[in-house]
């Protein structure tokens, strides 16, 4: 086997930050940084990038990396007193050398287990002890799966709640030519209207201006159709009942230092999320389900479409 096909490799990334490269024998790959436990790249077996990463992304702690799949924990957005999207995306994670067994262990060799535990500084702003275990797996067909398991390790047995999201940035040809299916007729909270609650219309979602909505009680499957690239992303999720759809459009894009003025045209965030999850003492799971699972499965169909599920 050539060096290029080593399934797991730790190496230096941007600004000397360490990253992990996962490679599948057929040619697909994924990259994630210890900083944030952050997936920054996922390519199919043709070498085509499927995730958006801003050309102005700042790989310099404590700034979060703009694009890829940031992990929002223990707070999503501004839903609480912490900094925007919590602090997991701004912390250095470690290799988990002794992960608990997974119920769906397979023969995949391209995977890595990371773990995050709170520092004393973290405890000052969010006074709960936990173990956050993240497995990132690149499957035989180029599938990408993120599995999160959060265990409450508070010594006093005190439960805690948190909000959560995989803030996935999809790479698209032109957001105005993209539509999202699977969220029709669902209730949502509009972040552009002080989280006022509305019901989505019966048609697929399309984009012609800034968009920032939290959809409630969503199905396990959501499709993002990119007509120009003839590519369909299918996001499948388990244990994460909600979904966020976001695009900053032109004015907010220009206001972000780590985002190109016109890059909003080539990205769309569709995020598996949870408003609130409870974790009892010693439990490896929240109320939602045994695992917070965000399977991202990529396979090449005869039509040339790319499926992300």
Active site residues: 167, 271
19-22-28-33 Cα dihedral, nearest 10 degrees: -30
Distance CA 84, CA 18 (A): 24
- Taking residue 129's Cβ as centre, other Cβ atoms within 10 Å add up to 16
Residues facing residue 152 across a β-bridge? 130
Run of H or E including 120: helix 120-125
Compute CA distances 42 → 55, 144, 171, 260, whole Å: 16, 8, 10, 21
Measured from the Cβ of residue 252, the count of other Cβ atoms closer than 10 Å reads 14
d(CA 110, CA 25): 9
Task: Centre a 10 Å sphere on the Cβ of residue 104 and count the other Cβ atoms it contains.
Answer: 11
């Amino acid at each position: 086997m050539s060096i290029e096909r080593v399934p797991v490799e730790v190496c230096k990334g941007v600004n000397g930050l360490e990253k992990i490269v996962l490679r599948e024998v057929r040619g697909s790959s994924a990259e994630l940084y210890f900083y944030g436990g952050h997936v920054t790249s996922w390519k199919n077996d043709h070498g085509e990038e499927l995730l958006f990463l801003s050309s102005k992304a700042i790989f310099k702690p404590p700034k979060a990396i703009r694009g890829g799949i940031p992990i929002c924990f223990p707070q999503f957005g501004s839903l609480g007193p912490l900094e925007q999207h919590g602090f997991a995306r701004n912390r250095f994670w470690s290799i988990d050398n002794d992960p608990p067994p997974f119920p769906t262990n397979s023969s995949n060799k391209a995977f890595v287990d990371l773990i995050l535990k709170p520092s004393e500084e973290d405890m000052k702003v969010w006074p709960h002890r936990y173990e956050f275990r993240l497995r990132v797996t690149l499957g035989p067909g180029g599938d990408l799966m993120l599995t999160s398991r959060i265990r409450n390790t508070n010594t006093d047995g005190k439960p805690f709640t948190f909000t959560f999201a995989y803030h996935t940035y999809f790479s698209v040809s032109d957001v105005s030519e993209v539509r999202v299916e699977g969220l029709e007729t669902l209730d949502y909270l509009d972040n552009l209207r002080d989280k006022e609650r509305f019901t989505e219309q019966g048609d697929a979602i399309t984009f012609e201006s800034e968009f920032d909505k939290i959809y409630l009680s969503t199905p396990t499957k959501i499709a993002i159709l990119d007509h120009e690239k003839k590519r369909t992303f299918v996001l499948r999720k388990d244990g994460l009942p909600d979904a966020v759809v976001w695009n900053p459009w032109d004015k907010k894009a220009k206001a972000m230092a780590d985002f190109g003025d016109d890059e909003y045209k080539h990205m769309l965030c569709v995020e598996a999320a949870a408003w609130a999850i409870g974790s009892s003492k010693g439990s490896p799971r929240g109320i939602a389900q045994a695992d917070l699972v965000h399977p991202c499965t990529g396979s090449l169909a005869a039509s040339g479409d790319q499926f992300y599920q």
